[in-house]
Structure 1
Amino acid sequence: MNAPTLDARLEAVLSLICAESHADIGSDHAKLPIRLIREGRIGRGVIVELNPGPLALARRNVARARLEAVLEVRGGDGFGPLAPGEVESASVTGMGAGTVAGILSRAGERLPPALVLQPNDSPAPIRTWARANGYHLTAERLIPGHWPYPVLRLERAGGNDPAYAGLPLAAALRYGPHLLREGSTLLRRQVWDDVVRLTPLAAPGRTAQVELDTARAALDVLGETGR
């Protein structure tokens, strides 16, 4: 089996992983861990999948790649099939941010020191979880696709996360502190789209007003006040 092709979002996830041992949670087809092994980014991996269909597919793909000696496929929910301290890092991709944050919250002592996460919607719940649970946001990517896909790397560390220093917190949680500082064209478009969408909905006391204020604060960081 040749090295599998990944879409742009999973290529970004792959670029942020480097560890001796790694777990891919909700792996589906197992293409990401196969590529990680093929490229020498990990020495061994654990593939976790809850649903029977994807679990069987992952096992078939690992067998076809002849990587059973270094990639173990386990059935189960979230980090449940792992032992505490078993892996150095883990990835969770292709799920809603709330779902990812729930998986992390239930993991307890099974959480590794490094996490690479790719939610399919606003990653604010993940950034909020990280700040409350001793993880620093060390890298971010924003990848174009059906919508902008955020990719985050978290690392366990003490003290306040320096990534948020000097930024409006709500805007940094919504759009990402590293991404705001980089100010890519894709992020600028995303923030402007939010402003356009929220402006006719906003009114005092409405959630849309809070979200609009957050988007406008992001524009201030980006140095934009209008098109």
Structure 2
Amino acid sequence: MNSEKLSYRLETVTKYIPHGYRLADIGSDHAYLPCHVVQKGIVAWAVAGEVVEGPFQSAKRQVEEEGLIDQISVRKGDGLDVIEVGEVDCITIAGMGGALIASILEKGKDKLVDVKRLILQPNISAISIRVWLMENGWVLISEEIIEEDGKIYEVLVAEQGDEQSAYQKNLEKGLLFGPFLLDECNEIFKKKWKAESKNWKSILAKLEHASDTPENRLKKEELIRKISLAEEVLENEEG
């Protein structure tokens, strides 16, 4: 992977970046994504933010090698600390856990007032992001589920607006499975939730033999609920 040829996962993220927007890519690693979208003329200017020294240096090197130092500002800092209010229109955060992405948004939410679009790609726990978006006035406008190298990823796209509008059918299922992904219910979606359901069942089996504490009882209830939701969704589709 390089800035010329992105991974399929990052390619999918770039699809949702509107032409002409100013971009901040948070946790940019080698800055492949910002370099790619600037070279393709999708955006004229971008920030590559990285909190870890090694990837920060890699990103700086990459931007220098590509001759893009006037168009990409590589900055070291935690989450949205690397941008100023009103500096960008679109933020991408890819390749982290959903809970971490949600905490980055929460910590930096004062920076989001003028941001028009968020494109978020969690490796796990997309529900954490959907909950955060809904609690903070962001509406999901699109979702995509993809598979690359045996791993399944979800891409969530949100804009400021009526946060409830994506969840008209069923809030609980919408938050867990993704309202758009649920509607489409493609083969990758089914594969993901069959595997998740199997995993939850094996955790539940272990908990059956664990001590009967209030905490374990709660965990069991939650697992039983999630398994039943997944089975309902998958059965509806099979049927």
1:101 maps to: 102
Aligned pair in 2 of structure 1 residues 141, 212: CA closer, same or farther (>3 Å)? farther
1:91 maps to: 92
1:117 maps to: 120
Matches of residues 124-135 of structure 1 in structure 2 within 5 Å? Answer: 124-135=127-138
Deviations 1:52-89 (A, max 9, x none): 11111111111111111111111111111211011001
Matches of residues 146-225 of structure 1 in structure 2 within 5 Å? Answer: 146-157=150-161, 159-167=162-170, 169-199=171-201, 201=204, 205-224=217-236
Partners of 1:79 and 1:54 in 2: how far apart?
16
SS in 1 for 2:110: helix
2:12 maps to: 12
Number of equivalenced pairs: 224
Deviations 1:110-129 (A, max 9, x none): 12221111111121110000
Asked if structure 2 preserves the Cα contact closer than 8 Å seen for 1:80 and 1:107, the reply is: yes
- Cα drift, residue 133 of structure 1: 0.3
Code of the residue aligned with 1:177 in structure 2: it is P
Asked if structure 1 preserves the Cα contact closer than 8 Å seen for 2:146 and 2:153, the reply is: yes
Decide which moves more: 24-33 or 201-210: 201-210
Decide which moves more: 200-209 or 12-21: 200-209
Asked if structure 2 preserves the Cα contact closer than 8 Å seen for 1:198 and 1:209, the reply is: no
Partners of 2:128 and 2:61 in 1: how far apart?
34
Deviations 1:86-121 (A, max 9, x none): 100111111111111111001122122211111111
Asked if structure 2 preserves the Cα contact closer than 8 Å seen for 1:139 and 1:153, the reply is: yes
Code of the residue aligned with 1:196 in structure 2: it is K
- Cα drift, residue 34 of structure 1: 0.8
Asked if structure 1 preserves the Cα contact closer than 8 Å seen for 2:197 and 2:230, the reply is: no
Asked if structure 1 preserves the Cα contact closer than 8 Å seen for 2:185 and 2:237, the reply is: no
Deviations 1:126-179 (A, max 9, x none): 00000000000111111113431111111111x343211112x23221211100
The runs of 5 or more residues in structure 2 that have no matched partner are: 209-215
SS in 1 for 2:29: coil
Aligned pair in 2 of structure 1 residues 160, 59: CA closer, same or farther (>3 Å)? closer
Asked if structure 2 preserves the Cα contact closer than 8 Å seen for 1:22 and 1:88, the reply is: yes
The runs of 5 or more residues in structure 1 that have no matched partner are: none
Asked if structure 1 preserves the Cα contact closer than 8 Å seen for 2:201 and 2:227, the reply is: no
- Cα drift, residue 3 of structure 1: 4.5
SS in 2 for 1:54: helix
RMSD of aligned Cα (Å): 2.2
Deviations 1:171-193 (A, max 9, x none): 22121110000011011122222
More helix by share: 2
2:74 maps to: 73
Within the candidate set 139, 142, 148, 1:139 is matched to 142
SS in 2 for 1:93: strand
Asked if structure 2 preserves the Cα contact closer than 8 Å seen for 1:181 and 1:222, the reply is: no
Task: Report % sequence identity.
Answer: 33
- Cα drift, residue 215 of structure 1: 4.0
Code of the residue aligned with 1:132 in structure 2: it is E
SS in 2 for 1:139: strand
Is 1:36 matched up with 2:37? yes
Code of the residue aligned with 2:189 in structure 1: it is L
